[in-house]
Chain A
Amino acid sequence: MRFREKNYTGKMGVIDLSDLSVQVAPLEESLISEHIGGAAVNRILLDRYDGNDSIVLGTGPLTGSFAPASCLLVATFRSPLSGKISNVPLTIRNGSEMKFAGFDFLVMNNTASQPMILSVHEGTMVFHPAGPLLNLTIAEMSSIMRREIRDIRSWIIAGPAADKRAVSASVSVSRGGSFDKTGLASVMASKNIKGVLFNGIDGLSYGDNDLTRSEAMMKGLSTSLHGKGPGFSRILQHLGADSSIMELLPIKKMRQRACYHCPFPCMCHVEVTNETLFDGKDSNGIRTLLLTDHLGFMTLADTFNADVFPIMAACNEWGLDPVAVSQIIPRGGSLDEVLSMIKGLFSGPELKVKEVDGHTCGTVSCSIPRQEADRFGGGIPPLTVIGDFDSPENWKRRVALSMILGICPIFLLMFPDITDVDLLSFIDPEKESRSSLQIRLQAAIDDVCRA
């Protein structure tokens, strides 16, 4: 079985949003054998369609496979914040679902004449008008989309903040925001792409011993978990959260959540009872808030202390980067004042704030330079205390590795025992040919880190 056949569906879609045309092309063997996949191939495709203000969505060879945490979809685009290429990791199930929907890479060129939603399903794409979804919260959009489009297994959605062209807007890959802090949401909004929905029902081939390999790897991981308690709080501990922040987390009320085939649940649901926050649908006044953005939570908690949950929920619902919000909204106000200030940002035709230019990591102490963090979306936690990722260079290469192979970067940062050789064995179990693959992978990592 060839590299492409086993790890990719073999199709890429090139979309011209100006006339809503789609060109489905076979995935070039040379492209993936040289650049492996993910962010490295995305960058090549971005260069190829340079001048079209493109967004490239790409999966890695391990996305959707039996390799642990193989959920990743990488969005590559030119960031309006830095003007440089940014690779935003889109987690939960987006990468695997895009592959199951029949595509390895999607290139979105030009701008649609009106807001559209792109639905990807069984190797085809359908455009839905998204005008009625403008300025709605993520919850409202979610219920409308599920009612109107039905078969949705995962999505990337730009919230109401992006509708106002806020650069500090952040895409939502679920109800819990994302790691987008470099303006993917606003770029999508500027191209009139409100969201991309995936409904993957196809299958993906796998190698003979992949399941056994995965099982062995998972067992090994269970002995090397770092710390105790929910994964979300463990990451906060590694980021240096002090006791005042940790005490805010209701450990007993947290329900852990993991992305596709991930043994380390780094997200969690916490209970939120603030009824003023959510309009309409609720469950006896109690709803849960999905926490995915570790940096955002820490920064908000540091700024607003106990009010962090409703403010975080507001950021999630309105598609705002919590780090940016903590820098826009002054400290000291009551919760109602803060929420009305955030909501007030959307009251006029244009966002009423100047864009922020703070450090991506917010108030989190971080040795990763901003431009390096922004290369990978700006939201990946600077987990530099585990393994040998204490230098920005090592951190950067580790994240690039994950972005190329299609593995969640947080997972790879949390488990330094997993080597690139371990992961490449899912692509090529033969030791001899794997060494050449390893060389190409290192070259691809260099490319991503240089871009």
Chain B
Amino acid sequence: MPPRHSYILFDPEKCTGCGTCEMVCSQRNTAKIAPSSASIQVIRDEDLGKNFAILCQHCRRPLCLEACPTRAIEKGDDGIVRINKLFCVECGLCTMACPEAAPLRDQKTRGINKCDLCDGDPLCVKHCPEKALTFTRGKAFRWIKGLRWSVQLVSFLLLVMILVGTFCYFTAGAVTLACPAGVLQNVASSKTIVLVGVSAALALLILTALAGRLFCGWVCPFGFILDLVGTIIPKKIGWPSFLKSRMTKYGVLVGAVGASSVLGYQAFCTICPIGSLCRSYGVQGVFRGAELAIVPAIASLEVAERRSWCRYFCPVGAVLGIMANARLINIVIGAKQCKKFSCTQCAEVCPVGVIDKDLLREGVSPIIPMTECIMCMRCIDRCPYGAAKINVRWRKGVPGIPEETRL
């Protein structure tokens, strides 16, 4: 089990710039009161009236660690990133690599000082008179995560194991649902519009028009399998850049519809991983050899990137992505409320990689393309500052900071 992510949260709204954190930190580093030798530094912007704290975020994948030529930086089992002074040659590459510039150069000794969280009991947090610093070991329980996994499991059981029919088209009592990509192919292959089929597809399209690609993040049974596989294979090898086009899935959709029109049957549905999963693995499964192989074959793409299929190839996602243009809600990440630009935890947990880390590091709110976002809400769950939120589409600005209080 990976170590809990321990770090210090800084609230600039509360910080008065008194520098007590620097004092107590320096006395631990040097046995003297010398704020310039502290591992935390408060930058006081007198023009904007704002304070910023430079302090280590003990990143999950520390760039300083990778940059260190002497391997003097290590991440302990407790999740704390430390500098081993015996090996440190004071080259300063760690400072340059860190987006927060958190390994601080001691102006007196020219050595590098870096926060080690006082081995789990940070003095700066303890002594901050305004409680602007908070020590956290991350959220112990993320309720959205628990809810999402539960919904995904129930959806999987219903769609694959219990309900008669498949995701492609099934009836449960008075409710009839159909895959919108399947319906498009059906219309193309049969050259006729079956109103029952179209209306069955509408349910999913309306849900998407209201709440974005919620289906992909919460309901899709194949997405559930991908999330499970992604959890088992945490390290990703990545795709070559020429394959990383999100437009590919729209091409797949057009190709599927075109092929269906030419061949006279729903061409893509025969190899659709969602359909294959429902048809071949459920209690009423057909267990045909070729279909059995589709699910593991496509799931193995998780080795390259999380939700690779959803990002680049899924034609169902493409239809829903088009509908998501009409969504009523957005996910927004307010950079002004995001108090540590180097945190980027939201970007790290995003399974479809739509949050721009670089923009966050520049202090700019990234615009999340809702046609790509699968509304899994991992970013909301993970953000320690409450900067990631669901916003109604027509509301301008970032969440959390009313216009009149922004400085």
Contact = CB atoms under 8 A, between A and B. Distances in A.
Interface of A: 64-66, 93, 96, 100, 139, 142, 151, 153, 174-175, 200-206, 211, 214-215, 218, 222, 252-253, 255-263, 265, 269-271, 281, 283, 286-288, 290
A76 to B, nearest CB: 25
Contacts of B108: 201-203
A288 B48 contact: yes
Nearest to A263: B129
Contacts of A261: 18-20, 23
A269 B407 contact: yes
A141 to B, nearest CB: 13
Given A261-B23, A287-B47, A253 B404 contact: yes
Interface string B36-48: 1100000000111
Contact of A290 (B37, B49, B107): B49
A203 B129 contact: no
Contacts of A139: 47
B24 A205 contact: no
Question: Which 4 pairs of residues, A with B, have the shortest CB-CB distance?
Answer: A203-B32, A269-B49, A203-B34, A288-B49
Given A201-B107, A203-B30, A260-B19, A100 B407 contact: no
B300 to A, nearest CB: 50
A226 to B, nearest CB: 16
Interface string B96-133: 00000000000110000000000000000011011000
Nearest to A176: B46
15 contacts: A65-B33, A151-B107, A201-B34, A203-B26, A203-B32, A215-B126, A215-B127, A218-B127, A255-B13, A256-B16, A258-B18, A260-B18, A270-B49, A271-B49, A287-B47
Nearest to B14: A256
Interface string B355-386: 00000000000000000000000000000000
A151 B105 CA distance: 14
B129 A218 contact: yes
Contacts of A253: 404-405, 407
A268 to B, nearest CB: 8
Contacts of A211: 24, 27, 127
A286 B403 CA distance: 13
Nearest to B21: A261
Contacts of A263: 18, 129
Contact of B18 (A65, A174, A215, A262): A262
B14 to A, nearest CB: 8
Given A255-B49, A258-B18, 17 more contacts: A100-B35, A174-B46, A201-B107, A203-B33, A203-B37, A205-B33, A222-B129, A253-B405, A255-B50, A256-B16, A258-B17, A262-B18, A265-B130, A271-B49, A288-B46, A288-B47, A288-B49
B18 A255 contact: no
Contacts of A257: 16-17, 49
Name the residue among A203, A256, A270 with the largest chain B CB count within 10 angstroms.
A203
Contacts of B20: 261
Contacts of B126: 215
A261 B127 CA distance: 10
Interface of B: 13, 16-20, 23-24, 26-27, 30, 32-37, 46-50, 107-108, 126-127, 129-130, 404-405, 407
A64 B33 CA distance: 8
Given A218-B129, A262-B18, A201 B36 contact: yes
A206 B36 CA distance: 16
B46 A290 contact: yes
Contacts of B13: 255
Contacts of B23: 66, 261
Contacts of A290: 46, 49
B47 A200 contact: no
A124 to B, nearest CB: 14
B32 A259 contact: no
Contacts of B405: 252-253
A345 to B, nearest CB: 24
Nearest to B20: A261
A258 B42 CA distance: 13
Contacts of A204: 32-34
Contacts of A153: 36
A64 B27 CA distance: 12
B47 A206 contact: no
A215 B128 CA distance: 10
B106 to A, nearest CB: 8
A259 B34 CA distance: 16
A380 B14 CA distance: 26
B404 A252 contact: yes
A126 B407 CA distance: 37
B47 A265 contact: no
A139 B107 CA distance: 26
Given A287-B48, A288-B47, A290-B46, A206 B18 contact: no
B93 to A, nearest CB: 23
A218 B126 CA distance: 12
B337 to A, nearest CB: 15
Contact of A205 (B16, B18, B32): B32
Contacts of B46: 142, 174-175, 288, 290
Contacts of A203: 26, 30, 32-34, 37, 108
Contacts of A64: 33
- Which among B13, B26, B107, B129 has the highest number of chain A CB atoms within 10 Å? B129
Nearest to A174: B46
Given A202-B108, A203-B108, A206-B33, A258 B16 contact: yes
Contacts of A215: 126-127
Contacts of B35: 96, 100, 200
A213 B30 CA distance: 20
B407 to A, nearest CB: 6
B234 to A, nearest CB: 42
Nearest to A121: B107
Contacts of B19: 93, 260-261
Contacts of A96: 35
Nearest to A253: B405
A222 B130 CA distance: 10
A35 to B, nearest CB: 23
B60 to A, nearest CB: 32
Nearest to B127: A215
A288 B107 contact: no
Nearest to B13: A255
Contacts of A252: 404-405
B259 to A, nearest CB: 53
A41 to B, nearest CB: 21
A57 B404 CA distance: 42
A203 B113 CA distance: 15
Contact of B34 (A65, A93, A100, A222): A100
Greatest chain A CB density within 10 A among B24, B35, B107 is at B35
Nearest to A93: B19
